[in-house]
Structure 1
Amino acid sequence: MNLKLLFICLFLAVLLAPAEVYFFFAILKGENDNDEEDENSEWLFDIQEPEGLCHPNPCHNGGECREKGKRKFKCDCPDPFKGKRCEKGPKICKRGKCGRGECVLTSAPPFYECKCKLPFLPPDCKHYSLCNPNPCKNGGQCIQDGNDFDCQCSQGYRGRFCNVEPNDCFVDDGESYRGNVSETENGDECLYWNSHFILERGVDPFNTFEDPDGLGHHNLCRNPDGDIMPWCFFRRGRKLLWDYCDVTECPEPTSQEKTTKTNPPTDDVPPEPKPTDAKPSTTNTPTKPETTEATKPTDATTGAPPTPTPNTTVSQEEFATCGQPQPKKSMARIYGGLKVPPGEIPWQVSLQVRPSQTSQPFSHICGGVLIASCWVLTAGHCIEKNKDMQVLMGSLSLNSEDSMTQTLDVERAIIHENYRETPIAVYNDIALLKLRGNNGVCANETQFVKTACLPNSQLPDGMECRISGWGATEQSDYGSNHLLEANVLLINQEKCSERNIYGSALAQNMFCAGYLQGGVDSCQGDSGGPLTCQESGAHVIYGLVSWGDQCGKKFKPGVYTRVTEFVDWINAKIQQTSR
């Protein structure tokens, strides 16, 4: 009887305080889910039978790589990091810790701080106050609007909190911008650069975050990677996104001002000093890389020029090298494929189509990879009949073209003779696109347009490679306007051919890559795009996005066309067409 009475009391307690009970369990569930995910990652990583070497170092966060036997490795992780590749940092920012605010990582105890979204108040962002104190800057008036507020700004000021001054603008690509805009073009509030959403993967939160690119403990728009204008990260729910900011470009100086600036200084008048935050002249205009020995990229381990994997018979006379990206700036602190620096994947192209003999706009359908000035490699299932085709290269965004972009018509599409689709798989899924050009030259080599190398050997299982594309994401079934990238592991062929994964559907000229626990995968719109791996200091096109069972599903990694099986076919078709 006493036991029944206890259950009744507990049931009544839940009915009387549902919000508090739910919130309490939500926090506990968030913590437990993270712990279970860590354990699953460990054993799922083990059954993928990872193999690989220590060059380049696969360990994150300063981990030291030690070779075990001929082809396996182990990462020795510094405190407090752990995981097979030292990729797991301490889980400081638990769900619910900062209420209606953002948890940011700091380098001093307690190693986090809550940044509240007004009108919620520090320290934990769980209580709010409207217009007291006044959140509006620069003399702005706070006007209460129900449970929210608006700022009525003084003349010339703008932004949600009137924090943007009248002369707040950027010059050139905005690399030197140090203004106060903190919203995207669509009105999303920027995340702090030290937000745990940005730093939780692959970055040591115990190091200070300020750097010369203007990043730090703030949420102001910046351009740390040499993109076309200032940008920032934002989030929707638990998803991290990025976009360009609502910041204006500074007006062009008048012709008289230009003349004054370009006049050489005389002996009597000292030259005008440059402002301390001015953008270095070497980064103002991207230039075509020189091919002299003195300017070739060097191998980070030996200091000697890297030896790219040869493209066998494919002519590279028009391009100085293959597989050698020259990104404007490295974004090593950002992982997970959210932001690709300009020039980081210069062989990525967008295959676009429209109905034949129409003036309709072209639309993106697939990815592709540039392997020579006039040749693009893509998936066979991307080729559609009765369609005009073009490729766009050199740009990171599909909704805006700039000086980096090159757009070329497709003169001819060549699908593999044994291409075949079945209800469960796509076989010999490869095609060549011949671009239209002049005198054998189509695409021009720049910092943002380069070729990937063709492979000449198999690569070890467990090696970490990279996929990229504008494919569908969890935020948009129709794709992303910004180029995305992600790291994936080459999965053991025997493992991927097991019955609970892909069984007999997996042919020898295909392979799997990704993570068996799911979450990171190529998707629709990425088809035909590159999977590249580093070999001998160069990026080699090892796979083409082909097919899979949904996107990011557990035990259903992406399936890729194994390019090593088609190198002879590629060379033969190019030679036949060039005669």
Structure 2
Amino acid sequence: MNLKLLFFCLFCAVLLIPAEVCKCVPNPCLNNGVCEQKGKKGFKCRCPKPFKGRKCQKGPKYCRKGLCGRGECVRIPTAPFYECKCKMPFQPPDCRTLCQPNPCWNGGQCVKDGNNFDCQCPLGFRGRFCHVGPNDCYVDDGESYHGNVSETDDGYECLHWNSHFILENGADPFKTFQDTEGLGPHNFCRNPDEDKMPWCFYRRGSRLLWDYCNVTKCLEPTGVTPTKIVPTDASPTASKAPPPTLKPTASTTVPTKTEKPSQAPQPSTTPVVPLIPTGTAPPQQFATCGKPVPKRPITRIFGGLKVAPGALPWQVSLQVRPKNSNLPFKHICGGVLIKSCWVLTAGHCIEQNKDMQVVMGGLSLNTEEPTEQTIKVAEAIVHENYRETTAAVYNDIALLRLSGTDGVCANETQFVKTACLPDAQLPDGMECKIAGWGVTEDAQYGSNHLLDANVLLINQEKCTEPRVYGRVLDNTMFCAGYLQGGADSCQGDSGGPLTCQANSTNVIYGLVSWGDQCGQKNKPGVYTRVTRFLNWIKTKTQAAAP
């Protein structure tokens, strides 16, 4: 740990400053910036040259547009601090050559197709370059996978783990993940954070996204990890020549160390009975709120990227279909679980002539996950004074009463928990979190995976200035984001939660409501101010018996 940072934290302890206001732990400053506490709730980053910005996130753009032609620019630690990785079969220095030399591995034949090419692979090999062999598969969750798949499920090419595009979006896989074994200056799929299978980052336009990979699970435990083919450009300073044509022989494979046994211990046939002391009742469901228990520490959240399982257990997907039909339900909005039988969402999300259900406990919309709970909506209650105008949406709040028995609807698990309601106004400038699947009126497409981003609470007077939103804002709304533009509720979801940490507890402070476009200067996201509706929420939830 940086000695100055350690000294500062000791100084915090001496002054009896509560742990939650020590904003420098963990260090929010990027690129080795030094964090300094400012007051009780602020911080300042002292940035090493040539970096600057609030979190030292801005630096020289070595990878300027067009520098690498049809290739990917990646960062290296020594001058000139970048290297061009041509996308095969385009070759250095101009990344334009096709089929010469042959880009296809393992005896594959390169066939020109206009300005592109196809590889005709020999039996047993697959992938764009025939680089995925017959033994290329993953064991268990793929944490030990060191194979050669480099495409997502949907066919997107993975970015190199040291891609400038990943780094410039605030992520550094080599510093962020707890287990970086297997990561390197390559674009092969890996699972460094104990997700359910190997994955990678990819780029779609100006958005940095991630997805699971098109990699096969091993049919039977073999006792060793999948075989590994080492390309010639396995280090930042290695030659950028194309990989040699490899034949599927024993000399081309290298067994790698097994990090975990491929055969799980067999469970005992004796049933395990939970031990509850005599006279002690089972733990009460949802006895506490706002306390996530993520599967792993939340170390991979970069503003709009992956969310760890269990990190946002109150997040809900609101889904609809035509009334009394057998059509599949479709996601339309987000929501937040506040009680076993109650979900809070935005008023403009409610369509009274539709069947509604909520799905909670999962991260992916296109994959049925074992942690999910799907519950029908028994009743939707929109605020009596809800109204829309051409300029704004007022009293944009609704409650969903879920179907259940004896007051139990959702069951509390590690992946399904409630968020707390706030009891006071929070200070301007506080950093809070928005989350959702990215489906808003301004987004052409959403994400199938749950994303989140950090935003700042903006002063109400500043937000009602004529150049921002003017007088259309009332005291039932507030702004959050960045006036200079950037992350806002376009990365969230209508009706989804804006949560803030108050006394180490997550409170639902706002609901994604509306905004002028997405991420524009002086046009931050507008949120329903939940503190103005606490009595309304209490009255409705107590009056309507589940």
Q: After TM superposition, is the score higher than 0.5? A: yes
Q: In the alignment, which residue of structure 2 is the partner of 1:10?
A: none
Helix, strand or coil at the partner of 1:540: strand
Q: In the alignment, which residue of structure 2 is the partner of 1:151?
A: 119
Separation (CA, whole Å) in 1 of partners of 2:257 and 2:169: 36
Alignment partner of 1:59 is 2:28: yes
Shift of 1:117: 0.7
* Cα gap change, 1:334 to 1:138, in 2 (>3 Å): farther
Alignment partner of 1:276 is 2:276: no
* Cα gap change, 1:105 to 1:559, in 2 (>3 Å): same
* Cα gap change, 1:55 to 1:453, in 2 (>3 Å): farther
Alignment partner of 1:139 is 2:107: yes
| Matched-pair contact (CA < 8 Å) for 2:147–2:189 | yes
Please give the per-residue CA displacement for 1:404-437, whole angstroms capped at 9, x wherever unaligned: 2111011122222222222222222111111112
Question: Which one has the bigger helix percentage?
Answer: 1
Separation (CA, whole Å) in 2 of partners of 1:525 and 1:337: 8
Please give the per-residue CA displacement for 1:265-314, whole angstroms capped at 9, x wherever unaligned: xxxxxxxxx962227999x99xxxx9x9xxxxxxxxxxxxxxxxxxxxxx
Q: In the alignment, which residue of structure 2 is the partner of 1:354?
A: 321
**When the two structures are superposed, what TM-score results if normalisation uses the length of structure 1?**
0.76
Deviates more, 1:169-178 or 1:483-492: 169-178
* Cα gap change, 1:475 to 1:173, in 2 (>3 Å): farther
Shift of 1:544: 0.4
| Matched-pair contact (CA < 8 Å) for 2:346–2:397 | yes
Separation (CA, whole Å) in 2 of partners of 1:78 and 1:329: 31
Separation (CA, whole Å) in 2 of partners of 1:117 and 1:446: 45
Alignment partner of 1:575 is 2:542: yes
User: % of aligned pairs identical?
Assistant: 67
Separation (CA, whole Å) in 1 of partners of 2:176 and 2:515: 41
* Cα gap change, 1:118 to 1:219, in 2 (>3 Å): same
Separation (CA, whole Å) in 2 of partners of 1:475 and 1:109: 41
Shift of 1:71: 5.7
Q: In the alignment, which residue of structure 2 is the partner of 1:522?
A: 489
Helix, strand or coil at the partner of 1:198: helix
Helix, strand or coil at the partner of 2:305: coil
**When the two structures are superposed, what TM-score results if normalisation uses the length of structure 2?**
0.80
Q: In the alignment, which residue of structure 1 is the partner of 2:164?
A: 196
| Matched-pair contact (CA < 8 Å) for 1:60–1:202 | no
Mapping 1:92-107, distance limit 5 Å: 92-107=62-77
Mapping 1:440-479, distance limit 5 Å: 440-472=407-439, 477-479=444-446
| Matched-pair contact (CA < 8 Å) for 2:301–2:307 | no
| Matched-pair contact (CA < 8 Å) for 2:183–2:190 | yes
| Matched-pair contact (CA < 8 Å) for 1:213–1:223 | no
Q: In the alignment, which residue of structure 1 is the partner of 2:135?
A: 167
Helix, strand or coil at the partner of 2:489: coil
Shift of 1:80: 4.0
Helix, strand or coil at the partner of 1:541: strand
| Matched-pair contact (CA < 8 Å) for 1:543–1:563 | yes
* Cα gap change, 1:169 to 1:68, in 2 (>3 Å): closer
Q: In the alignment, which residue of structure 2 is the partner of 1:566?
A: 533
Separation (CA, whole Å) in 2 of partners of 1:488 and 1:54: 19
* Cα gap change, 1:357 to 1:74, in 2 (>3 Å): same
Return the letter of the residue paired with 2:325: T
Mapping 1:212-251, distance limit 5 Å: 212-251=180-219
* Cα gap change, 1:153 to 1:72, in 2 (>3 Å): closer
Q: Pick the aligned partner of 1:177 from 124, 133, 145.
A: 145
* Cα gap change, 1:167 to 1:121, in 2 (>3 Å): same
Return the letter of the residue paired with 2:57: E
Mapping 1:105-504, distance limit 5 Å: 105-122=75-92, 124=93, 126-203=94-171, 211-252=179-220, 276-278=258-260, 317-330=284-297, 332=299, 335-472=302-439, 477-504=444-471
* Cα gap change, 1:213 to 1:562, in 2 (>3 Å): farther
Return the letter of the residue paired with 1:494: E
Separation (CA, whole Å) in 1 of partners of 2:351 and 2:389: 17
Helix, strand or coil at the partner of 1:578: coil
Separation (CA, whole Å) in 2 of partners of 1:115 and 1:475: 34
Shift of 1:180: 1.0
Please give the per-residue CA displacement for 1:534-565, whole angstroms capped at 9, x wherever unaligned: 22222221100111122222211111011122
Root-mean-square deviation (CA), in Å? Answer: 3.3
Helix, strand or coil at the partner of 2:537: helix
Unpaired stretches in structure 1, ≥5 consecutive residues: 1-51, 258-273, 293-315
| Matched-pair contact (CA < 8 Å) for 2:125–2:133 | yes
Deviates more, 1:129-138 or 1:465-474: 465-474
Separation (CA, whole Å) in 2 of partners of 1:531 and 1:244: 27
